[in-house]
């Protein structure tokens, strides 16, 4: 080791010493250097990397005590350089104006009210730990602005009627350069108690299972990430007051959960069963098809019966997994619904529906639709009560992952705008939210549920309660369905072909639901409106794939050359199977040179593991020599062909004709020989010499 030390040159050792000293200096001066680097960050870089999010907000303000909320700040700049401006805009009174504020474009008629005096900012020097800012903003319903830079007063600047929805903008600034780093817009919903005012009924549908959860071969596709999301969704049901949420679960999701071996899958099923079933369910399970179909597309293709099958199979899955079976009404359709689709749903038992607003043709509403329609005479299901799902409210569920709390506040604020459109209406009003998004963000839904639970303006109800309120109302406006174009669906030929193969499979493997049920479910999934043609074909191929497995498990024994020494006999053929289900088959035989006294069809039942059966086929030969016997295995319905083979039969027996011909030939030969013999004898005598003694 000493020798190794003497070989290290002096200059590299000095470099190592200098590096060690630099490391010590950097460790001691790290915070100062970080501050210097932060101060040197260009304004454009800081703006790109700075973000602001809403962590919590009090959704309703009922007094001058004000608004409480929490913001999350993330910026590369030091907190000493950050400031927050609060801008309150005048009341938003229409849905169009509200939509404009979501896009960050305030209508020209809206006058901003800066709550912070002299354009000042709230210093954010206290956010070094966790990047969170807690704000308490009192509300003043006069026209004064007496706030401070640490707790500005939100002055509504109103003199008559102050309740309403006010856009509230928070802007994060670099106080040193005066540049804007980030901004977000939420809403102050000022809702002091109002005597005699009726709340707005809100029926919200939680969709689960729009996206396929089963593979084309029936296996569960639910991985850990999706199961975690479903677990969170199940837990969030507690955020809603009992009887304020309707849950539409497509049967294919429950089937996938039941087949998944992960403990999380069993937990989701247990949570749903507890919330939706039992003697006192907290939320309502509403009817849903097995997969996300377009009823109008199926009906227009001549497949109305498939709609009823979808709902029937889904109810069967509900019963087996959750222990309950929802009634066929009410039901929710999120695809454009036309008369043909309505008729198909009515045949399935759904007479009270939630449909897209664009599917209804009726009186043009001047404000948000707050009552259902009754279908006018001439409609396929005339007299039914139909609610129009509000498309704008449903769209709020589409993207709730980036800032769930803010998205929830925006949804609640828009519902408040609907309320304030007609705040003193003496009759009940209701809106239905039926999103077409598969399982919105759980945090978003939890905030919405909590907001509905405590709202002075909104009253959460489930669909059954909602339809009960209007079912016998004789004053509902009339409407009929538009002749909507279907959004997409399978071809009739594809469905009928898959159904035919499925029926053949059911006859081949009778009493084996563990095999046939997943195959049928794959066919139902193929009917989803959300599939493209290639993915649809994979699911439609499930029956053919199952039949192929049966065919590959079969083999025909005794397929070789057999010699028959008599005109009649029997040919033994053995059928064996490696399949794990009992099979019912039919053996067909055919030959041009054989007759079959016992017929050409023979029923075969293979039961138990590795079964086999030997069938002795009576045959009768027409000629001697070699002939071919063709053997085919099919299902009981006659199709498809599962296995086939050829058997060579050599016959050595003589037929009656052959014997007669042989005897005749021998007789002719004998006669010819006898006559020839006599002629030779006579000829011999005539040429013999005379006796000398006789002369």
**Alpha helices in 80-192, H assignment, sequence order:** 95-102
Question: What is the CB-side half-sphere exposure of residue 319 using CA atoms within 13 A?
Answer: 9
Is the fold of 43-190 the same as that of 554-651? Answer: yes
Strand partners, 208: 249
d(CA 680, CA 463): 120
354-372 per-position pLDDT tens digit: 999 888 886 666 678 888 8
Cβ atoms 467, 72 nearer than 8 A = no
Beta strands of 10-81 (E only): which ranges?
51-57, 67-74
Please determine, for residue 122, whether its predicted confidence score (pLDDT) is greater than 60.
Answer: yes
Tell me how crowded residue 80 is: count the other CB atoms within 10 A of its CB. 15
Query: 449 is written with which tokens?
Result: 């549920």
pLDDT for the residue 495: 96
pLDDT in tens, 242-290: 999 999 999 999 999 999 999 999 999 999 998 988 666 788 999 999 9
Domain ranges for the chain, please list them.
Answer: 2-39, 43-190, 200-481, 492-551, 554-651
pLDDT at 487: 64
| Strand (E) or helix (H) holding 621 | strand 612-621
DSSP secondary structure string for all residues of 566-584? SSEEEEEEEEEE--SS-EE
Residue 22 pLDDT level (bands cut at 50, 70, 90): very low
Q: Which residue has tokens 């192929």?
A: 548
Q: If residue 190 lies in a helix (H) or strand (E), which one and from where to where?
A: strand 179-190
* Tens-place pLDDT, residues 523-562: 999 999 888 888 999 999 999 999 999 999 999 886 678 8
- What does the H/E/C string look like for 426-487? CCCEEEEECCCCCCCCHHHHHHHHHHHHCCCCEEEECHHHHHHHHCCCCCCCEEEECCCCCC
Averaged pLDDT score across all residues of the chain:
82
Tell me which CATH homologous superfamily contains domain 554-651.
Answer: Immunoglobulins (2.60.40.10)
Contact at 8 Å (CB) between 257 and 281? Answer: no
CATH of the domain spanning 43-190 = 2.60.40
Is it the case that residue 151 has pLDDT exceeding 70? no
Q: How many CB atoms lie within 10 A of CB 284?
A: 23
Distances in Å between the alpha carbon of 238 and those of 275, 384, 535?
8, 33, 37
Token pair for 278:
């039992």
User: Is the Cβ–Cβ distance between 251 and 458 less than 8 Å?
Assistant: no
| Domain 200-481 in CATH 3.20.110.20 | yes
């Amino acid at each position: 080791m000493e020798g190794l030390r003497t070989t290290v040159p002096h200059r590299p050792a000095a470099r190592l010493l200098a590096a060690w000293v630099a490391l010590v200096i950097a460790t001691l001066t790290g915070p100062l250097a970080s501050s210097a680097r932060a101060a040197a960050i260009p304004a454009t870089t800081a703006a790109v990397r700075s973000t602001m999010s809403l962590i919590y907000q009090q959704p309703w303000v009922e007094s001058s005590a004000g608004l409480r909320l929490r913001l999350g700040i993330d910026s590369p700049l030091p907190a000493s350089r950050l400031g927050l401006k609060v801008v309150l805009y005048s009341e938003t009174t229409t849905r169009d104006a509200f939509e404009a504020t979501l896009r960050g474009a305030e209508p020209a008629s809206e006058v901003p009210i800066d709550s912070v005096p002299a354009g000042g900012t709230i210093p954010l020097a206290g956010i070094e730990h966790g990047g969170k800012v807690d704000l308490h903003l009192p509300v003043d319903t006069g026209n004064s602005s007496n706030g401070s830079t640490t707790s500005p007063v939100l002055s509504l600047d109103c003199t008559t009627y102050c309740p309403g929805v006010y856009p509230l903008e928070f802007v994060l600034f670099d106080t040193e350069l005066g540049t804007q780093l980030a901004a977000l817009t939420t809403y102050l919903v000022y809702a002091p108690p109002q005597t005699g005012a009726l709340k707005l009924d809100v029926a919200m549908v939680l969709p689960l299972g729009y996206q396929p959860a089963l593979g084309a071969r029936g296996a569960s596709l639910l991985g850990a990430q999706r199961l975690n999301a479903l677990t969170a969704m199940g837990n969030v049901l507690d955020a809603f007051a009992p009887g304020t949420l309707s849950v539409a679960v497509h049967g294919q999701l429950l089937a996938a959960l039941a087949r998944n071996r992960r403990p999380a899958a069993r937990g989701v099923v247990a949570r749903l069963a507890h919330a939706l079933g039992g003697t006192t369910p907290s939320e309502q399970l509403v009817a849903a098809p097995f997969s996300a179909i377009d009823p109008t597309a199926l009906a227009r293709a001549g497949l109305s019966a498939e709609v009823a099958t979808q709902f029937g199979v889904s109810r069967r899955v509900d019963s087996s997994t959750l222990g309950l079976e929802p009634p066929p009404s009410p039901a929710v359709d999120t695809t454009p619904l036309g008369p043909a689709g309505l008729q198909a749903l009515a045949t399935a038992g759904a007479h009270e529906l939630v449909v897209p607003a664009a599917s209804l043709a009726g009186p043009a509403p001047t404000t948000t639709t707050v009552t259902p329609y009754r279908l006018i005479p001439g409609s396929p299901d005339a007299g039914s009560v139909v609610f129009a799902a509000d498309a704008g409210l449903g769209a709020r569920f589409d993207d709730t992952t980036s800032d769930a709390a803010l998205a929830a506040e925006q949804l609640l604020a828009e519902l408040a705008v609907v309320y304030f459109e007609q705040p003193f209406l003496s009759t009940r009003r209701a809106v239905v939210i039926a999103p077409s998004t598969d399982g919105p963000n759980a945090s978003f839904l939890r905030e919405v549920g909590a907001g509905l639970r405590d709202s002075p303006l909104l009253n959460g109800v489930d669909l059954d309660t909602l339809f009960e309120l209007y079912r016998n109302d004789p004053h509902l406006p009339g409407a009929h369905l538009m002749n909507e174009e279907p959004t997409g669906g399978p071809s009739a030929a594809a469905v009928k072909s898959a159904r035919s193969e499925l029926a053949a499979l059911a006859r081949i493997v009778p009493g084996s639901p563990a095999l046939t049920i997943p195959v049928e479910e794959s066919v139902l999934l193929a009917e989803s409106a959300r599939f493209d043609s290639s993915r649809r074909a994979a699911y439609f191929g499930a029956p053919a794939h199952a039949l192929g497995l049966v065919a590959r498990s079969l083999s025909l024994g005794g397929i070789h050359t057999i010699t028959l020494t008599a005109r009649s006999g029997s040919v033994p053929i053995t059928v064996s199977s490696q399949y794990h289900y009992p099979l019912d088959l039919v053996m067909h035989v055919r030959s041009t040179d054989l007759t079959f006294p016992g017929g050409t069809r023979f029923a075969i039942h293979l039961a138990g593991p590795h079964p086999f059966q030997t069938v002795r086929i009576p045959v009768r030969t027409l000629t001697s020599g070699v002939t071919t016997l063709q053997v085919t295995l099919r299902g009981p319905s006659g199709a498809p062909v599962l296995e086939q083979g050829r058997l060579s039969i050599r016959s050595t027996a003589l037929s009656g004709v052959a014997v007669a011909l042989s005897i005749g030939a021998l007789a002719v030969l004998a006669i010819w020989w006898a006559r020839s013999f006599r002629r030779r004898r006579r000829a011999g005598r005539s040429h013999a010499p005379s006796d000398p003694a006789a002369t």
